[in-house]
Amino acid sequence: MPAIEENLADVRLRMSQAAIRSNRDVSSIKLVAVSKQHSVESIRAAYDAGQRCFGESRAQELSAKVPKLPDDIEWHFIGPLQRNKVNQVRPLVSLLHSLDRASLASSWGRVGQVPALLQFRLGGEPTKAGFEPGDMPFAIETVLAAGVSIAGVMSIPPPESDDEPARNWFRFLRKLSEQLTDAVPSASAISMGMSHDFETAIEEGATAIRVGSAIFGSR
């Protein structure tokens, strides 16, 4: 699938340019190719173009895809996770991006040491899950007590019409990250930025970006 190979090359170029603008090493930024609702063939095309990290958001879809693809793929789970799906997802992934509540932490921590990112709801949107920004001390204490290794923070900012409001949300998440690393120095990952704003996210400190349509096209 030449389009996927070309799209991936374009995303990587844009990542490098954003890293240069912000005096960062692009190798410190992980590209998570969001493959949810895309075919195994599309994922393989990206794999053949050198991509190794993919993000899925549905337990059943993840479970169906993993056996059909090379076993050196690094799978991340990036969507809402029900507690009764934890045992299905946990053995297949290396990172959970969406640890959004204390009850999920208690389930995730019981099934082994796969690290997780604390998901925050930055704009107070009722349709989104996540810890509130003011709950950082509670989130840290609760998640660590559940036996979960905290890797960092994640958020999906409220939809905005232009770049600057998104930049402000990314800066907000970076400040939350600093609160977290004061308590847990190793928890320095910041997962933010998607197809429409990942360059801004890189400029504001993202260590992981979640890019789907810019690589695979529309679903």
Domain span at residue 201 reads 2-216
Total domains in the fold of the chain: 1
Alpha helices in 111-206 (DSSP H): 136-145, 163-183, 198-203
Residue 162's pLDDT band, with cuts at 50, 70 and 90, is low
Q: What is the pLDDT of residues 125-147, one digit of tens each?
A: 777 889 999 999 999 999 999 99
Alpha helices in 29-122 (DSSP H): 40-48, 59-65, 86-89, 102-110
| pTM score above 0.85 | yes
CATH code of the domain containing 156? 3.20.20.10
Cα 133 from chain centroid? 18
Tens of pLDDT, residues 66-82: 999 999 999 999 999 99
Q: What is the distance between the alpha carbons of residues 99 and 167, in angstroms, rounded to a whole number? A: 23
